[in-house]
Amino acid sequence: MKNKETLYRELLTEVGGLVDGESDEIANMANIAAAIYAKFGFHWVGFYRVVGEELVLGPFQGPVACTRIAFGRGVCGTAWKEGRTLIVPDVDKFPGHIACSALSRSEIVIPIAREGAVVAELDIDSAELDTFDAVDERYLTDLVTSLGSAGKS
């Protein structure tokens, strides 16, 4: 079986081909979520966008999810508030975790910033404990960095 870094490098090439030259952020989020989901088979892969005072569900793959999340609430709201990536090895031990799906066991949330402000997040849930580490953080951050670039519509 291929190791995680090999899979991520393949994913970066695939995603680059899908989003390069495309300025529509929703379309790019949709293809990035689908590409990650297809590559790794995670339980849930998707985006939340900052709309006013809340995170609002964006393109995703997997079971239905919470539509709106308040600033500071759950893993997603906390990553937004703190402006940093959160890796949660066991969601049952994260105070205030929002259980959109009972099958979720671990999670990574990566904020996407534009001009210093968080504008969206990539959220991935795994059905296994302790799925995500610094390797996931590095490659997933690379994958979504272009979404924060100026000039996206």
Chain residues binding ligand SME by CB under 6 A are 44, 65-66, 69, 74-76, 97-98, 100, 104, 107, 123, 125
22 vs 62, 79, 87, 95, CA distance in Å? Answer: 24, 27, 29, 38
Q: Which is nearer to ligand SME, 9 or 61 (CB)?
A: 61
CB 25 within 8 Å of CB 146: no
Is residue 9 within a helix (H) or strand (E), and if so which, with residue range?
A: helix 4-19
Q: Which is nearer to ligand SME, 25 or 107 (CB)?
A: 107
**Least CB distance to ligand SME at residue 133 (A):** 18
**Least CB distance to ligand SME at residue 20 (A):** 28
Q: Which is nearer to ligand SME, 25 or 125 (CB)?
A: 125
Q: Which is nearer to ligand SME, 37 or 44 (CB)?
A: 44
**Least CB distance to ligand SME at residue 63 (A):** 8
For the record, the structure tokens of 63 come out as 């079971």
**Least CB distance to ligand SME at residue 79 (A):** 8
Cα 113 from chain centroid?
13
